[in-house]
Structure 1
């Protein structure tokens, strides 16, 4: 299966059923609360990805593109959000991504988003954009589980969804990583170029012809989140820290580790 055929499997991305139910309930109220809606979209990578797709499809005249959750919500009517949530409910059954530990994947994705937002303040990148990029950075995992189920089942036995070796093993087994797949999906769905580039080059930010700082930021946030999940001790943190990426952003290991990924609720997502 080539990359474009694989990306076609991304039309049905599973979301957290509980969050989808809460979203449908809130959108069904006479006057939905924007803060709650923002919190729910900002807690699930597939919901956020759908939202960004819809925002960019509905507002093609904006040359800059719709690149954050808050921006998309400000532009889209409630009726469109209801339709989106209804489709998400249909695609989020119990076996939507067989073999993938979805609760861990959702928790990890949100942690990367929070870390990216916290780090963005130190490098003068837009916090809401950093949050969105961090939240959807591993969306390619859902596509791979839809299109290459057997291969992904074998990989999951060797390296869990938060394993630092994950992308390398995917490249070896599948010839493609979640980063490439996620970028191809974002491009197919018409997301802005900076976000597409951040997804595509997040594993190797300097391989891009034109360096995208957002890719470096996501790289650092994902490194820290995976290190936390793996329980790295001090020596492992020191030896695995991507120092060159940090240097390009003016961040050393202490600055990255000291960032507090506070859950700021729906603010600035």
Structure 2
């Protein structure tokens, strides 16, 4: 299926029931805490995407300027936030997205966002944009499975959706990968160009004519989070480490591994 044909299909991205419940509870309080709202929106890729889409709407005058959840919360009123969360479809079933374990996906997305924010701090890049890119970059994988579940079975038969080599296999099979789908969505949501470009090029940062550091940051973060999901050992980490990207950013494998979040969300035993 061509990319534009894929994107033309109506897709509903599911949210975590827990995140929705926590947000509605906070928004129902007499004085909602912006800190807690930021925390809860920051755990759910689909909710964060809806929030940023609303904040970058032309009517608010900040189109393609709002790259982070805190900025978006400052623009939108509590009533608007409540309507946005109430309208969020829930990923309540294991079959909500065929071929994708949503619990794993949500955990992976949050871990990637935390890592990207940390790496961005080391290289003096925009940490808010890095967190957003990390949180949203995998949404294209959900779109691929929702729009063409039968077609994605052939890809899934080769590699799991969160395998570190996933983007290469999708490019070979489909002609594009989940990152490009995520980038097209972000562009349609009017997110800032730096976020869109990072999503589009993160799987292969040096194929972009003008190398974007945020794409490199996201590349390293996604590699580390996927390696964590795959349970890679020391030798496998050393062999698979994207050294070219690391050298460009001035980060070796030890620096990358030392930035692991102290509060990794719960991981399965390997």
Name the count of aligned residue pairs: 264
Which residue of structure 2 lines up, in the alignment, with residue 148 of structure 1? 148
Q: Compute the TM-score of the two structures, normalised by the length of structure 1.
A: 0.91
Question: Comparing 232-241 with 252-261, which one deviates more in the overlay?
Answer: 232-241
Residue 56, structure 1, aligned to residue 56, structure 2: yes
The answer to whether the 8 Å contact 1:10/1:185 transfers is: no
Which whole-Å deviations, capped at 9, do the CAs of 1:154-203 have from their partners, x for residues lacking one?
43343222211211222233222101111111111111110000000001
Which whole-Å deviations, capped at 9, do the CAs of 1:19-65 have from their partners, x for residues lacking one?
11221221122221211111111001111111111110156633661
The 3 A distance-change label for structure 1 pair 227 and 18 is same
> Hey, what's the Cα distance between the residues in 2 that align with 1:91 and 1:19?
10
Unaligned runs of 5+ in 1: 265-269
Which residue of structure 1 lines up, in the alignment, with residue 267 of structure 2? none
Which residue of structure 2 lines up, in the alignment, with residue 197 of structure 1? 197
> Hey, what's the Cα distance between the residues in 2 that align with 1:190 and 1:210?
21
Q: Compute the TM-score of the two structures, normalised by the length of structure 2.
A: 0.91
* 3-state SS of 1:32 partner: coil
* 3-state SS of 2:138 partner: coil
The 3 A distance-change label for structure 1 pair 38 and 249 is same
The answer to whether the 8 Å contact 2:67/2:191 transfers is: yes
Q: Which one has more relative contact order, counting CA pairs under 8 Å at least 6 apart?
A: 1
Which whole-Å deviations, capped at 9, do the CAs of 1:233-262 have from their partners, x for residues lacking one?
222212211111111111111110111314
The 3 A distance-change label for structure 1 pair 59 and 246 is farther
Q: List aligned pairs for 1:137-216, cutoff 5 A.
A: 137-216=137-216
The 3 A distance-change label for structure 1 pair 73 and 11 is farther
How far off its partner does 1:91 sit? 5.1
Which residue of structure 2 lines up, in the alignment, with residue 267 of structure 1? none
The answer to whether the 8 Å contact 1:10/1:146 transfers is: no
Which residue of structure 2 lines up, in the alignment, with residue 31 of structure 1? 31
Compute the RMSD of aligned alpha carbons.
2.0
The 3 A distance-change label for structure 1 pair 210 and 60 is farther
The answer to whether the 8 Å contact 2:55/2:76 transfers is: yes
Residue 124, structure 1, aligned to residue 137, structure 2: no
> Hey, what's the Cα distance between the residues in 1 that align with 2:58 and 2:188?
15
Which residue of structure 2 lines up, in the alignment, with residue 220 of structure 1? 220
> Hey, what's the Cα distance between the residues in 2 that align with 1:22 and 1:58?
29
> Hey, what's the Cα distance between the residues in 2 that align with 1:177 and 1:131?
21
Which residue of structure 2 lines up, in the alignment, with residue 45 of structure 1? 45
> Hey, what's the Cα distance between the residues in 1 that align with 2:80 and 2:186?
20
> Hey, what's the Cα distance between the residues in 1 that align with 2:123 and 2:48?
24
The 3 A distance-change label for structure 1 pair 58 and 253 is same
> Hey, what's the Cα distance between the residues in 1 that align with 2:260 and 2:90?
34
Question: Comparing 224-233 with 153-162, which one deviates more in the overlay?
Answer: 153-162
> Hey, what's the Cα distance between the residues in 2 that align with 1:220 and 1:128?
17
The answer to whether the 8 Å contact 2:17/2:90 transfers is: no
The answer to whether the 8 Å contact 1:4/1:184 transfers is: no
